[in-house]
Amino acid sequence: MAEGLKIEIVSPERLVLSEVVNSVTVPGSEGYFTVMHDHAPFMTTLRPGFITVNGRDGKDEIFFVKGGFADVSPEGLTILAERSSPFVDFDHADLAAQIKAAEAELAAAATPEEKSYAQEVVSALLNLAMEAGQINGGHIH
């Protein structure tokens, strides 16, 4: 039997997941990446997004992560998340409220720098909403 990948997802509140899996796809700050057993070591920052864990049984589990770090080592993959939860606990209404507030900040931005920053925040939140909608077939208004 092939070796598996040990993954731990840790948030400040609790250990979210600790198990041996086939692979994990993670939202890195430079884009999504997939880690399997015997991956080369590296460390990177995470952006808000969704971690897909492909279990030993071939089934996927999805977790939301709001930033943090990913550390790939010979021992496995450790996610140190700013916040993390199973996708079933993802708060779509809270995300919709964050988008509305960010859009208001963009409309109120006075300088080009403020507008640029506010636009980045709005874009990131809208991308997160699209990803969430693709996962469960829903949508956010």
What are 44's two structure tokens? 């990177």
Q: Are 34 and 25 in contact (CB under 8 A)?
A: yes
Residue at 53: amino acid letter? V
Q: How many CB atoms within 10 Å of residue 114?
A: 13
pLDDT one-digit tens code per residue, 34-78: 999 999 999 999 999 999 999 999 899 999 998 899 999 999 999
Residue 1 has pLDDT above 50, yes or no: no
The DSSP code sequence of 36-101 is ETTPPPEEEEE-SEEEEEEETTS-EEEEEE-SEEEEEETTEEEEEESSEEEGGG--HHHHHHHHHH
Q: Are 28 and 48 in contact (CB under 8 A)?
A: no
pLDDT one-digit tens code per residue, 101-134: 999 999 999 999 999 999 988 888 888 888 888 7
**In which region does residue 120 sit, left (phi positive, over 0), alpha (psi from -120 to 50) or beta (all else)?**
alpha
- What distance in Å separates the CA atoms of residue 79 and residue 50, rounded to the nearest whole number? 12
pLDDT value, residue 137 = 56
pLDDT value, residue 127 = 86
pTM here is: 0.81
Highest mean pLDDT among 76-80, 83-87, 95-99, 129-133: 76-80
User: For the chain, how far is it from start to end, CA to CA, in angstroms?
Assistant: 46
**Averaged pLDDT for residues 98-103:** 91
Q: Are 54 and 72 in contact (CB under 8 A)?
A: no
pLDDT value, residue 141 = 32
